[in-house]
A and B are shown apart, each in its own frame.
Chain A
Amino acid sequence: MRCVPRFVAVRNARTGHTLDHETEADVVQDVLTVVWRKLRSFAGEATLETWVYQFVEFEFRNTLRRRDRRRMASLDERARDSEPAEPRAVETDLEELYLGLEALEPIERAIVRLRNFDAMTFEAIAVRIAAPLNTVKSRYYRGLEKLRAVLHRREDRA
C-alpha cells in the first residue's frame, strides 16, 4: 500500500501541486479507507496497482471539486473577477471521461477499462472475466456507445 502516497503525490504533481501537503495526506487516508472497504472485491480483473489507482483518481478529483466549491463560495465578486482562470482543460477532459465511465454498467466499465487502460485483447478479457468472446465484444461496443451518449449529454449541458 506504499503505492498510494506515491500515486497521490504524482497525481498532485501532474496538476501543478494544487493540493498542499496536509490535503494530500487527507486524500491518501481517504483512498486507503476506500481500498480497505473494497479489498474483498478485488478479484484480479486488473492489476492491483491499476485497481488501486482508480480510487486515487476518484478521491483526488473529489477533493479538487470540494476545494473548488469552497473557493468559489468564499471569493467575493471582485476577487472572482480578478482571479485568472486555471489552465485545467486537460483535467476537465479527463474528469468528463472518468465521470462518463462511472455511468456505465459495471461489466461494461470493466471491459472498456481493460481494453483501453490495460491494453488487453478481447480474447484475454474474455478469459479474465470468464465470459464468451462475443459477449465481451458486444458489451464493449455497447459501453462505448453509452459513453459517447453520456459525454454528449454532459457537453450539451455545459
Chain B
Amino acid sequence: MSSFDGNQQELLRRLALGELAPDAPELVRAAERDPAFRSALAEQVALDQRLAAAARFEREVLAAADRHEPSPRAVEAADARLRALLAGTAGPTLRGPKRATSWSMWLAAAVVLVGLAWVLWPRPTPPERPRYLGALAPSDLAVTGTKPGWTLAWKCSHTDATFQVRVFDATAPEGPALAESATLTTPTWTPDAAQQSNFPPLVLWRVEARAGSERASSDLLWPR
C-alpha cells in the first residue's frame, strides 16, 4: 500500500510514463516537501536508468552481431541442431566432436534455413490470431492456435500429461479466473457459451500441464 497521497502518486505515475521529466518543477517541489517522496523519485529515476542501460546493452549486442563472426564450431553446432530439429531428433547426443562437412550437408542446411526463414518471417498478424506473451523459461507446452468458437488447442511433448485451462481478464490476470476447465487428457478445450459471453475484450488463457511431479504452463493473450 502506497503511503503517498493521490497527488504524489499521480506525479510518480507521470514520471514513470515519461510525461514529466525528473527535474519538472512540480516534482522538485514535492520532493523538497517530503523526504519519502524524494526517495521514491530517486528510485524511479534509478530504475529508468537501469532499464535504459540494459536496453543499450541489448541494442549494442544486436548491432555488433552484424559484424561479428561466430566460431566455426558454433556455426556447425547451429546447423546440426537445426537439421535435427527439423528431423525431430534433436537431443543432447548432438554434442560431440567436430564432424567433416560435405556439400550435401551444406545443401541440407540451406534447405533448413530457407524453411525456417519462411516460418519465421514476420507477417502482419490477422486479428483472430492469438498473441503470446508467455514466460521466458522454456516449457514443453506451446499454444498452437485457436479454432472458430473459442476453442483453444495446444501441444505438449508429454504423452501422459493432463491439462487444466483457466481464462483470466488480461488486464487483471491476478484476479479470479473467468472460466476454468476440468482436468483434461486431450489438448483442446472449449468454454461453454455462457462463459464465453462473459469474456472481456482481452483474455489471458493459461494452460497448465501436469505429468507426475512435473508441471509446466503457458499463457496466451487473445484480443477478442
Q: Which residues of A contact B (CB under 8 A)?
A: 1-11, 13-14, 21-22, 24-26, 28-29, 32-34, 36-45, 47-50, 53-55, 57-58, 90, 93-94, 97-98, 102, 105-107, 109-110, 112, 116-117, 119, 122, 129-132, 135, 137-141, 144, 147-148, 151
Instruction: Assign chain B's interface to a size class.
Output: 35 or more
Contact B82 A44 (CB under 8 A): no
User: Cβ of B71 and Cβ of A6 under 8 Å apart?
Assistant: no
Contact indicator B51/A112 (Cβ below 8 Å)? yes
Q: Does the CB pair A55–B136 fall under 8 Å?
A: yes
Which residues from chain A contact B81 at a C-beta distance below 8 Å?
28-29, 32-33
Question: Complex: how many Å from CA A147 to CA B133?
Answer: 17
Question: What are 22 residue pairs bridging A and B, where the CB atoms are less than 8 Å apart in the complex?
Answer: A1-B78, A1-B116, A2-B78, A3-B65, A5-B77, A21-B71, A22-B73, A24-B71, A29-B77, A32-B81, A37-B142, A40-B143, A40-B144, A42-B120, A43-B132, A47-B122, A48-B121, A90-B57, A107-B170, A130-B131, A141-B16, A148-B43
Q: How far is the CA of A136 from the CA of B187 in the complex (A)?
A: 31
**Which of B138, B202, B219 is close to A106, meaning CB atoms less than 8 Å apart?**
B219
Bound complex: CA A141 to CA B43 (Å): 14
How many contacts A-B (CB < 8 Å)? 199
Given A39-B120, A117-B55; A11-B61 close (CB under 8 Å): yes
A37-B139, A43-B130, A141-B16 are known contacts. Are A9 and B71 too (CB-CB below 8 A)?
Answer: yes
Question: Smallest Cβ distance from B209 to chain A, in angstroms?
Answer: 13
Q: Besides the contacts A4-B78, A10-B65, A130-B127, what 7 more A-B pairs have beta carbons closer than 8 Å?
A: A36-B90, A43-B132, A44-B124, A106-B135, A116-B52, A141-B16, A148-B43
Which of A7, A33, A48, A50 makes the CB contact (< 8 A) with B90? A33
**A8:B70 contact, CB within 8 angstroms:** yes
Interface centre among B53, B60, B129, B170 (most CB of A within 10 A): B170
**Which of B16, B94, B129 lies at the interface centre, i.e. has the most chain A CB atoms within 10 A of its CB?**
B16
In the bound assembly, the distance between CA atoms of A40 and B68 in angstroms comes to 28
- CA–CA, A97 to B132, complex, Å? 22
Q: Would you call A129 and B61 a contact (CB within 8 A)?
A: no
B100 at the interface (CB under 8 A from A): no
B134 CB → nearest A CB, Å? 5
Across the interface, do B16 and A116 meet the contact criterion of CB distance under 8 Å? Answer: no
- Kindly state the separation between the CA atoms of A44 and B143 in the bound complex, as whole angstroms: 15
Near A by CB (< 8 A), chain B positions 142-159 give 142-145
3 smallest CB-CB distances across A and B, nearest first, come from A5-B70, A25-B77, A41-B132
